[in-house]
Amino acid sequence: MSNNKLKNTGFSDALKGVGDNVLDNFKGVFSTLPVAKYASGARCKLKINGKLVGFAFGVSWTVETSVTEIRTIDEYMPWELAPKHVRVHGTLSMLHIPGEGPSISLHQSHALNFLQQKYVTIEVRDQQSDNLLFFTNKAMIVSRSEDLRAEQLGNITLSWQAIGWRDEKDPEAPRNWKKESVR
């Protein structure tokens, strides 16, 4: 039975299939537009104040949209959820390189300049496609923890808080918004 299947498919069809597979595998290499299927931390560029941070190995962020419940009398479920405020915060992990810490590069204030500390910009881009993954121009380092252990490289974790952000989609007012009721 398997011999009949082999006889029915021609040798040229098999070669065509192999050729198509080879072309598909090399399509990304020869294309002019870089396309990334997924974001990868190993492929990301991280900039603080417009400069590449070469000793950073991780960045994470959280955008929280808090809401408050509007309740009515004798109702167990809230009637509406009203937006309260948006909070943007995150962490940045980097190696501790003596002479290049957050205080020296003016990313974090110290005891004498914390009243005049300026905002920092944080930008994360995909290096292959140059797509913007996260950007804020009003961030402030709010805490720092350092870890030095025997037989390991020292690392720093910076926690930051920001006012506003931009990511893959630019902020815009909702279009064609119509009031819908769930009830």
**9-59 confidence digits (pLDDT tens):** 555 665 666 666 656 655 555 555 555 677 777 778 888 888 887 777 888
Residue 181 lies in a domain: no
At 127-176, the pLDDT tens digits run 888 888 899 999 988 888 888 888 888 888 889 999 989 888 877 777 77
Predicted local distance difference test score (pLDDT) of residue 28: 52
Query: Which domain, by its residues, includes 64?
Result: 41-162
Q: Is 130 left (phi over 0), alpha (psi -120 to 50) or beta?
A: left
Residue 178 lies in a domain: no
Q: What's the predicted TM-score (pTM) here?
A: 0.65
Residue 104 lies in a domain: yes
Residue 29 lies in a domain: no
* Residues 82-103, mean pLDDT to the nearest whole number: 84
Q: Round the average pLDDT of the chain to a whole number and report it.
A: 77
Which residues fall within 8 angstroms of residue 122, CB to CB, at 6 or more apart?
A: 46, 47, 48, 59, 90, 92, 134, 135, 136, 139, 160, 162
* Residues 118-122, mean pLDDT to the nearest whole number: 88
Predicted local distance difference test score (pLDDT) of residue 102: 74
Residue 33 lies in a domain: no
Residue 168 lies in a domain: no
Residue 36 lies in a domain: no
Residue 93 lies in a domain: yes
Q: What one-character DSSP code corresponds to residue 3?
A: H
State the total domains in the chain: 1
CA angle 88, 49, 129 (to 5 degrees): 80
